[in-house]
């Protein structure tokens, strides 16, 4: 396919914003794929903070990282709402990107899902902490119970962000069946 898939688009945005030495946040580690991707973008001198409330997600993320990658990754088993408590000041000054994969962890307990209140709180905090030119990307899976509500609240919120401060876009395939995921990307303006 010539058009980027939703996941490829999400990665392209992160790649454009995050450079060697920067700080990045994976707000929902899940299987660890994005934590690993971010650890490669920030390189040896950067830092990644990965959050997940489930121990199984933290464990599989840990297992995915090489020893070298682990050196620059801090994994935190806590809600992403608490992000401000964990990011060190010297890293906040370099925070250029954050990613969320919403919904449930495939192959795991489908009742453990991201929720509107905590997703929105985490997003607000991350947008505050983010450096100018930085991005927050959300891959919005919404086919599960409660997914619609989260999607609606999120879209409602991001549409209110002031255009003088943020560029906000939605990337979605609009002819696909079965509630495919889509991306919301938010860039903090310089
Ligand atoms: N739906 C995606 C994967 C989403 S994984 C896909 O199909 O690829 C979402 C992860 O978010 C899960 O591992 C879940 O444990 C985690 N999560 C849920 N609520 C959270 C919270 N408040 N803080 C951090 N992680 C959370």
What is the 53 CA–ligand 1 centroid distance (Å)? Answer: 8
What is the 76 CA–ligand 1 centroid distance (Å)? Answer: 13
Cβ(53)–Cβ(77) under 8 Å? yes
Reported as a single tens digit per residue, the pLDDT across 119-135 is 999 999 999 999 999 99
What is the 148 CA–ligand 1 centroid distance (Å)? Answer: 16
Output the six-digit token pair for 170.
Answer: 């939605």
Q: Distance (Å, rounded) from C-alpha 171 to C-alpha 148?
A: 17
> What is the per-residue pLDDT for 170?
98
Ligand 1 and 30: CB distance under 6 A: yes
Output the six-digit token pair for 135.
Answer: 């991005």
- Where would I find the beta strands (DSSP E) of the chain? 23-26, 47-51, 73-76, 95-101, 135-140, 166-171, 182-188
Nearest-5° angle of CA 159, CA 23, CA 129?
40
Cβ(115)–Cβ(142) under 8 Å? no
Reported as a single tens digit per residue, the pLDDT across 37-63 is 999 999 999 999 999 999 999 999 999
Q: Determine how β-strand 95-101 pairs with β-strand 23-26.
A: parallel
With a threshold of 0.75, does the pTM exceed it? yes
The string of DSSP letters for 132-159 reads TT-EEEEEE---STTHHHHHHHHHHHHT
Ligand 1 and 112: CB distance under 6 A: yes
Mean pLDDT (whole number) for 14-39: 98
Which residue puts its alpha carbon closest to atom 1 of ligand 1?
103
What is the 79 CA–ligand 1 centroid distance (Å)? Answer: 10
Ligand 1 and 118: CB distance under 6 A: yes
Q: Give the atom of ligand 1 at the shortest distance from the alpha carbon of 119.
A: 22
Reported as a pLDDT band with limits 50, 70 and 90, residue 109 is confident
Q: Distance (Å, rounded) from C-alpha 102 to C-alpha 142?
A: 8
> What is the per-residue pLDDT for 74?
98
Angle subtended by helix axes 33-42 and 55-64, to nearest 10 = 50
Give 4's DSSP letter: P
């Amino acid at each position: 396919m010539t058009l980027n898939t939703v996941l490829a688009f999400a990665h392209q945005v992160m790649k454009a914003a995050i450079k060697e030495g920067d700080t990045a946040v994976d707000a929902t580690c899940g299987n660890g794929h994005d934590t690993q991707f971010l650890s490669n973008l920030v390189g040896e001198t950067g830092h990644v903070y990965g959050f997940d409330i489930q121990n199984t997600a933290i464990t599989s993320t840990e297992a995915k990282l090489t020893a070298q990658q682990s050196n620059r990754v801090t994994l935190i088993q806590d809600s992403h709402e608490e992000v401000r408590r964990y990011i060190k000041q010297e890293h906040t000054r370099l925070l250029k990107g954050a990613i969320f994969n919403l919904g449930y962890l495939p192959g795991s307990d489908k009742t453990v899902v991201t929720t509107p209140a905590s997703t929105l709180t985490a997003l607000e905090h991350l947008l505050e902490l983010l450096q100018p030119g930085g991005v927050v990307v959300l891959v919005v899976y919404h086919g599960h119970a409660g997914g619609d509500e989260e999607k609606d609240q999120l879209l409602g919120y991001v549409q209110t962000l002031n255009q003088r401060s943020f560029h906000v876009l939605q990337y979605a395939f609009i002819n696909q069946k079965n509630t495919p995921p889509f991306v919301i990307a938010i860039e903090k303006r310089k």
